[in-house]
Amino acid sequence: MTRFDAIFQSTDRCDVKFTPVEAVVAIAGIATDVDTILSGVQEAKPIVASFFEGLLKGISGTLTDFDPEVCGQKVSAAHSASTCGGVYNAAHQALSDELKPYTYGISKMAMMVDYDLPEGGEEFLKELRTSLGLSDEEAEAAWQGLKQQALQA
């Protein structure tokens, strides 16, 4: 049993049907929640879909149907109505294989908004990587690519 089994080994369900891009934001929201808990911060850092809008457009080409406000509301509603495990299961189901590396990278970026991973953050990211079926190399390449893209924005 691992520290994050309640997320990655959960059988909980969430009734929200995510698009693949919303699924990326939902999992990044879980990463933000974990970061907040591990950091011992009293107030959660809000996951703002608009923060990731540029990165999401970069990974998905043209997102003519992507509305960060609607996405943020849908993801927030899912997080309010279900457990992290339920939201993760619904989001994971909606992800395409193509978006899994980016999901890892954006989740790591969400956890590092304050430039540091909290103690236990690497463990969470390792379990996320494993759950997404990514190799260390794929995860690192996605992370480095998103860091570079963010620096250019």
- Please tell me the predicted confidence (pLDDT) of residue 7: 94
Burial of 146 (0-12, 13-18, 19+ CB in 10 A): buried
Q: What is the pLDDT of residues 111-129, one digit of tens each?
A: 887 677 888 899 999 999 9
Whole-model pTM: value is 0.85
What is the per-residue pLDDT for 52?
61
When pLDDT is cut at 50, 70 and 90, the band that residue 51 belongs to is: low
Please tell me the predicted confidence (pLDDT) of residue 91: 96
Residue 49 confidence (pLDDT): 52
For residues 78, 72, 131, 63, the Cα torsion angle rounded to the nearest 10 degrees is: 130
Average pLDDT over residues 54-75: 66
9 three-class SS: coil
